Every structure is written in structure tokens, then in C-alpha cells.
Amino acid sequence: MTSTSQINTAAKLKHLRNEGMPFDLSLVKGIRINRSAVERRAATLGQRRSIKKEWQAAWLLRAIACMDLTTLAGDDTPGNVHRLCAKARQPVRTDLLKELGMDEVNLNVAAVCVYHNLIKPALEALEGSNIPIAAVSTGFPAGQITVLQKIKEIEASVRAGAKEIDIVISRAHVLTGNWKALFEEVTLFRKACGDAHMKSILETGELSTLTNTAKASYVCMMAGSDFIKTSTGKATVNATLPVSLVMVRAIREFHEATGFKVGFKPAGGIQKAKQALDWLILMKEELGDDWLSPDLFRFGASSLLADIERQLEHFITGRYSASYRHPMA
């Protein structure tokens, strides 16, 4: 079982913030992705390791610590945001944590992610905790507003108390190959964020090719992104393992070139505990243990938490409980 010291060490890992680098078109032009090779490698991730029993429980607890618990629905209200924040503060039932020997660990999620207008009720519900608010911005999810409007959105969310900003890039810059425009836009967003950490959402399901995904990842890191994120969760295709493999390898190459560690966040469609294990395996095998920390890895998730709690109860009791027994994530 994961020890208290291991959980706390993971939570305290720090690294130099990505300062970005000057735009270099030659680095972008040279990127080519072999889709067949990527898909073959991604298909092996769930087969190369067998994580069972106490080891699986430990990995699932780590997944919770790396979770951005999210609600981005049209019918969101302050009431259901308060309910989500209560779950963020106590993501696993106390009786289950006691059986796991983790009742003395202050286990909570990495952040709560909401729309700008719900930052205030989220802050109220999380008062006294160390859980930050992440706010989606820049015309989320489509990003089809002016750059000036996007910057004002970012600045308003930071003033309201958001410590993390999830921005959406202009996909048109990627699809037309206007990499300099993408770099300049993301650089402006990073400046507007100030001390708040910025996650750049690529919306990979709309970028057409894995090569475009790799290029967009690198440009966003050049511009100072703290994280790169697969998706808004609103597209037809969201986080997939092949796309994630391409993005984490771009992170690895950027780290090797600059020394800066950039985080990764898959979002959308990750609903089962087994899927969470696949992404944790990906991070460990491709980037190493440093990226198994909420400083550098997040799940964008809502229903995932309920399934993880259900799997933890199965580990303890040997029986699967009905899903309705677990509070809304």
C-alpha cells in the first residue's frame, strides 16, 4: 500500500516553472509523427503491466490525488458546485480510507475546475482547504471570440481567485499552419495569467493529424504553458492513448532541450478506473516518477472518481457495490 510519506512526498514535489523559449519555426517544421508506430505503442500500455490487489489500490489513490474534479455543464448551479467541492475535500469515504490504512492522510483532489461565474461559490465551499480553483477561459470550449476578449476573461478569473487557468487555443492557427500566430496568442495568455498556472487545451480531436498535435504541443510549451491538455471534453473525440503518447513525448523532448518540466492533462472520456491506470502507466513509462505528481499530471474528470471509489471498495470487501451508493463526483 502507498505510505503516508509517499503521498506527501508526491504532493510536495516542485520544479522550475516553464519560462518558455523564443519561437523557432525550424523546430516545429521538423516534427513528423508515424501514426502506425504510435498506435502500436499505445496498444501495449495496458498489456505490459499487470497492476493487482494492493498495488492497484495504491495507484488508484494516486489517480485521485492527480484529479481536477470538474463540472462544466450548462445546468451548473452554486448548489451542485458546493456538492462537488464537498466531494473534492473528501473524495473517498472515511471507512474505506481506514480499511486501507490511509485515514491519517489528508487525501484530496488536485483542483476543482469550473466556469468563471462559479469561482465564488467554489471558493466558499473550499475555504480552509489547500485545493485550488481552476477556471476555464478564453471562450471555452470553441475559443471563437477575439484575443482581447480572451485576455479579459483570463484576467477576470485570476482576480476572482482562480489559481489555475485552462485556456483553449485557436485551432484555426494549427489547421492553417500559422505557428507564429499560435505562439504569440499563447504568450499573451501566459502573461495575462500572471502567477496563475496555465493549462493549454489543444482540443486534439479537431486538429486532424497527430503531427499537428505534436507541433501544437511544442509551440504551446515554447510560449510558456505550464501544462498541455488534450481536450475540452466537449468534442466528439477527446482524450485517447495515441494522442496522449504524442503529447507526452513532446513534453519529454522539450524537457531535454530546455530543462523545463511541463505537465500533462488528459480530459474527456476517462470514466473508468482501468482507464486511469493506463494513463498512469503511460506517464511512468514515458516520463518517469516525477510526472506521477499533481504538479505535473492531472486527470480532467468527474464520473471517474465514483468508479475509483467503487473499485477501492471492491478491493476491501471482495464485492462490487451498486454505483448509486457512491456520491456524485
Burial 211-234 (b: 16+ CB within 10 A, else e): ebbbbbbbbbbbbbbbbbbbbbbe
- 163 has catalytic annotation: no
| Cell numbers for 318 | 471482495
The answer to whether the beta carbons of residues 303 and 274 sit under 8 Å apart is no
CA-CA distance, 230 to 232, in Å (whole number)? 7
**Which residue type, as a one-letter code, is found at position 182?**
L
| Cell numbers for 6 | 509517499
CA-CA distance, 138 to 124, in Å (whole number)? 24
The DSSP string of 293-315 is: STTTB-EEESHHHHHHHHHHHHH
CA nearest neighbour of 134 among 176, 100, 95, 165 = 165
| Cell numbers for 147 | 484575443
| Cell numbers for 211 | 503531427
Could you identify the residue written with the cell 505535473?
A: 296
Q: Which of 265, 278, 295, 307 is catalytic?
A: 265
Q: Which of 68, 87, 150, 166 is catalytic?
A: 166
- 272 has catalytic annotation: no
- 29 has catalytic annotation: no
CA-CA distance, 105 to 97, in Å (whole number)? 9
3-state DSSP assignment of residue 94 = helix
| Cell numbers for 232 | 475540452
**Which residue type, as a one-letter code, is found at position 59?**
W
Residue 15 region by backbone torsions, left for phi larger than 0, else alpha for psi between -120 and 50, else beta? beta
Q: Which of 226, 229, 261, 295 is catalytic?
A: 229
| Cell numbers for 41 | 505503442
**Which residue type, as a one-letter code, is found at position 179?**
W
Is cis: bond before 132, omega within 30 of 0? no
Q: Which residues are catalytic?
A: 166, 229, 265
